[in-house]
Homo-oligomer: A and B are copies of this chain.
Amino acid sequence: MDLLFLGTSSGTPTRARNVSGLALLEDSGKGWYLIDCGEGTQHQLLRTPLTLHGLRAIFITHVHGDHCYGLPGLLASAGMARREEPLEIIAPEGIEPWLRSTFAMSHTWLPFELRFRAVETLGQWRSSQVRVEATALSHRVPSYGFSFTEARPDPKLAIDRLARDGIPRGPIWGQLARGFDVEHEGRLLCSDDYLDYGRPPRRFVIGGDNDRPALLAEACQGAHVLVHEATYGQAVTQATGNPFGHSTAAQVAGFAQQAGVPNLVLTHFSARYQPGSNRGHSIEEIRAEAAAGYEGRLFLAEDFLRLHLDRTGALQPSARPT
């Protein structure tokens, strides 16, 4: 499973960083999930191997424009690319009426169905590959983090239980092995009941904008990777009083250390942080501040950074897509 960062700037794009967008790729490399969709996300995708046909679902952390203004254009382009598969959008409740009125205003008709799930009442969302839960965070508007847990880590059919329940060898076994629930002689057979797993599931926790990282403590149990905003370093928030409800690098690092998360990826940096340090603030301030409080593996996201989480739970950069 891979993370591929499509946008790592907060609020407004810069020449080097787009606004928020993050792809989580299934092991196959074809199916993927989009977390947040700032303006220009579809443009970023053109520079990756990902297609709008492979997109399984979209998750929106909160309604601020830099996290959702790219939705209308991305969905319209999916339509022009003749996607027909329904698409689920898990988002705050305001997103659905806004998207529907945007398409009505612009006379846009999509050749596929949009299926909305309100993040406020999500419970659990599942595909054949992942289970997703939402955690409420603290920001100027309601904001959520999403935990993605691998659904079937190294699955093996539990032959003894299949035999016990009299389920005949054949296509049903295959369905169950691939994670699908099957109806058989009037009963629903749940794939989960007939699979054993060879190792703990891989788990990613991806935060939305948030000024209280500790709200993710429960979600981070057993997590291999935490992706969290670190919009500013402490120097900036001490000067400005942090009126915007964001986290500092130090705060997030301290939380990740305490929670024992082995990999931390910081993102959503204020445009004032630049690669060099000739003028304004250097992004290296963020790195140093986080490294001081965190002993795990630390990454600062950049646009098109791709990180592979292997089956042992090790996170490594993989080759750039372009």
Q: Which residues of A contact B (CB under 8 A)?
A: 11-15, 18-19, 38-40, 42-43, 46-47, 63-66, 68-70, 72-73, 76-77, 80-81, 94-95, 97-98, 101-102, 105-108, 140-141
Contact = CB atoms under 8 A, between A and B. Distances in A.
Which 6 A-B pairs rank lowest in CB-CB distance, beginning with the nearest?
A: A39-B73, A98-B105, A65-B106, A12-B77, A94-B105, A69-B73
A99 to B, nearest CB: 10
Given A39-B43, A66-B73, A107-B140, 17 more contacts: A11-B77, A11-B80, A12-B77, A12-B81, A13-B46, A14-B46, A15-B47, A38-B73, A39-B42, A43-B43, A64-B107, A64-B108, A65-B73, A69-B102, A69-B106, A94-B105, A98-B101
Contacts of A107: 63-64, 140-141
21 contacts: A12-B42, A12-B76, A12-B81, A15-B47, A19-B73, A39-B73, A40-B40, A40-B43, A63-B107, A65-B73, A65-B102, A65-B106, A68-B106, A69-B69, A69-B72, A69-B73, A69-B106, A98-B101, A98-B105, A101-B101, A102-B102
Contacts of A13: 42-43, 46, 77
Nearest to A98: B105
Nearest to A76: B65
A24 to B, nearest CB: 23
Contacts of A64: 106-108
Contacts of A14: 46
Nearest to A63: B106
A94 B107 CA distance: 11
Nearest to A108: B65
Contacts of A94: 105
